[in-house]
C-alpha cells in the first residue's frame, strides 16, 4: 500500500534513485503514490563531492530525510547525508515489514481486492495499531483478542487472525481457554485442586511452554499458554484442559472445556 498524500518535514522515507544529475539525485518515493524528491548534491554525502555517482547509483534503494515539502510546486527536498546508519537500517526494516503486511493483506482478502475494500480494512487496523505489520503480528500472538477494539466485522477479524497465524513469524504466541470444573462429593474442593494441578502439568510441561491456570468465577478457570508457535500453544492448551477433565471425572465430577469466557465477573 502506498500513501496518497505527502510526507511530513523531518520524516524518513525510502526511495529508489531514479536519475542522477550534476546538481543532485532524483528519488522515487517507494511509500508514496506518484511522489518524487530531489536530494541536492550538497545533501547526498558529507564533504566535497566531485562526482555524485561515486556515492549513489541509479536503481539504488536509499533512505532520506524530508527537508521541505512544497505541494504547490510539487517539490520534495531530501537529504541522504542526514540519515545515519542506525536510522537507515531501522527504516529499511520498517519498510520491508510493511511490504510483508501488504502481501498478507493480499493473501487474506485476495490479490484482486478492490482499493476501497483494502483501504477500509487497512484504515480500521491503522486506527488501533501503528502499522499494518504491528496489527498482523499482534493478531498472530494474541488472536482475536488483539482486534477487539478494531472496527471490523467478525469474519474480517477471523480472516486477519487466520492469515497472521499462518504467515507471521513471531517469538511466541499466547492462547487462552477455559475449563469448568464441578464435583458434588464432600471432598469436591480437594478434587478440583487436584484437577487444577493436573491442568498445570504437575511439572511435566515442556520448558518451551509457559502454562498457568487461574480462577475466573465458579465453576470457571482460565488456562493461559505461551509457546513458540500457534500449533504448539493450541496443543498444550487442549492437553491441559483434557488433563483437568480426566482428573475431575475420575473423582466423580464433571469438566467442560471452552474457548470463550462465560462468567460475567471475575
Would you place residue 1 in the very low, low, confident or very high pLDDT band (cuts 50, 70, 90)? Answer: low
pLDDT computed for residue 205 by the predictor = 84
- Outline where the chain has alpha helix (H): 85-109, 115-126, 132-142, 154-167, 188-199, 230-250
pLDDT computed for residue 172 by the predictor = 84
CATH of the domain at 187: 3.30.70.1130
Cα separation, 43 vs 62, in Å, equals 13
Does 242 lie in the same domain as 214? yes
Does 104 lie in the same domain as 38? no
CATH of the domain at 145: 1.10.150.190
The residues, any chain, with a CB within 8 Å of residue 91's CB and separated by 6 or more, are: 12, 13, 14, 63, 83
Cα separation, 99 vs 92, in Å, equals 11
Q: Kindly state the average pLDDT of the residues 22-50.
A: 93
Cα separation, 102 vs 156, in Å, equals 16
The residues, any chain, with a CB within 8 Å of residue 68's CB and separated by 6 or more, are: 9, 75, 76, 77
CA 199 to chain centre: 30
Residue with the larger pLDDT of the pair 141 and 262: 141
Does 198 lie in the same domain as 184? yes
Cα separation, 93 vs 205, in Å, equals 36
Q: Assign 258 to helix, strand or coil.
A: strand
Does 194 lie in the same domain as 124? no
136-146: per-residue pLDDT in tens?
Answer: 999 988 889 89
Cα separation, 243 vs 44, in Å, equals 65
Residue 140 contacts residue 129 (beta carbons within 8 Å): no
Does residue 103 fall inside a structural domain? yes
Which domain-ending residue is among 167, 189, 220? Answer: 167
Does 78 lie in the same domain as 111? no
Cα separation, 132 vs 126, in Å, equals 6
Q: Cell 505541494 identifies what position?
A: 71
Average pLDDT, the chain: 92
44-63: per-residue pLDDT in tens?
Answer: 999 888 899 999 999 999 99
Which domain-ending residue is among 113, 135, 167? Answer: 167
80-90: per-residue pLDDT in tens?
Answer: 999 999 999 99
Bridge-based pairing of strands 61-70 and 12-20 is antiparallel
Does residue 57 fall inside a structural domain? yes
pTM metric for this prediction? 0.64
Structural domains of the chain, count: 3
Cα separation, 36 vs 25, in Å, equals 10
Q: Cell 499482534 identifies what position?
A: 138
Phi-psi region of 264 (alpha: psi -120 to 50; beta: other; left: phi over 0): alpha
Does 232 lie in the same domain as 156? no
Proportion of the chain above pLDDT 70, given as a percent: 98
Which domain-ending residue is among 167, 189, 210? Answer: 167
Cα separation, 68 vs 65, in Å, equals 9
Does residue 97 fall inside a structural domain? yes
Does 163 lie in the same domain as 93? yes
Does 67 lie in the same domain as 36? yes
Does residue 224 fall inside a structural domain? yes
Nearest of 78, 105, 96 to residue 17 by alpha carbon? 78
Longest dimension (CA), the chain: 92
CA geometry: angle 155, 160, 166, nearest 5 deg: 125
Q: Is the pLDDT assigned to residue 263 strictly greater than 70? A: no
Does residue 39 fall inside a structural domain? yes
Does 92 lie in the same domain as 77? no
Q: In what order do the strands lie in the sheet with 220-227?
A: 210-217, 220-227, 173-182, 254-258
Does 160 lie in the same domain as 193? no
Judged by average pLDDT, the poorest of 1-10, 49-58, 189-198, 211-220 is 1-10
Give the cell for residue 103: 502481501
Does residue 5 fall inside a structural domain? no
pLDDT computed for residue 266 by the predictor = 46
Does 112 lie in the same domain as 63? no
CATH of the domain at 18: 2.40.50.140
Does 216 lie in the same domain as 155? no
Does residue 235 fall inside a structural domain? yes
Residue 49: which domain range? 11-82
Does residue 6 fall inside a structural domain? no
Amino acid at each position: 500500500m502506498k500513501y496518497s498524500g505527502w510526507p511530513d518535514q523531518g520524516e524518513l522515507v525510502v526511495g529508489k534513485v531514479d536519475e542522477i544529475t550534476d546538481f543532485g539525485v532524483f528519488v522515487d518515493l517507494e511509500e508514496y503514490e506518484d511522489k518524487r524528491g530531489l536530494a541536492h548534491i550538497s545533501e547526498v554525502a558529507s564533504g566535497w563531492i566531485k562526482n555524485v555517482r561515486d556515492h549513489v547509483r541509479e536503481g539504488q534503494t536509499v533512505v532520506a530525510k524530508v527537508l521541505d515539502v512544497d505541494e504547490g510546486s510539487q517539490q520534495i527536498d531530501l537529504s541522504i547525508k542526514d540519515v545515519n546508519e542506525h536510522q537507515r537500517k531501522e527504516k529499511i526494516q520498517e519498510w520491508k515489514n510493511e511490504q510483508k503486511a501488504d502481501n498478507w493483506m493480499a493473501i487474506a482478502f485476495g490479490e484482486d481486492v478492490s482499493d476501497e475494500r483494502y483501504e477500509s480494512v487497512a484504515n480500521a487496523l491503522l486506527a488501533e495499531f501503528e502499522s499494518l505489520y504491528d496489527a498482523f503480528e499482534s493478531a498472530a500472538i494474541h488472536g482475536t483478542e488483539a482486534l477487539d477494539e478494531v472496527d471490523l466485522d467478525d469474519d474480517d477479524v477471523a480472516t486477519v487472525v487466520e492469515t497472521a497465524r499462518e504467515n507471521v513469524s513471531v517469538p511466541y504466541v499466547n492462547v487462552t481457554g477455559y475449563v469448568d470444573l464441578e464435583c458434588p462429593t464432600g471432598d469436591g474442593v480437594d478434587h478440583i485442586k487436584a484437577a487444577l494441578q493436573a491442568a498445570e502439568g504437575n511439572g511435566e510441561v515442556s520448558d518451551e511452554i509457559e502454562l498457568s491456570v487461574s480462577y475466573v468465577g465458579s465453576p470457571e478457570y482460565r488456562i493461559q499458554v505461551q509457546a513458540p508457535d500457534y500449533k504448539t500453544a493450541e496443543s498444550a492448551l487442549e492437553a491441559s484442559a483434557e488433563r483437568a477433565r480426566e482428573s475431575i471425572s475420575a473423582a466423580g465430577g464433571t469438566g467442560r472445556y471452552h474457548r470463550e469466557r462465560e462468567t460475567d465477573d471475575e
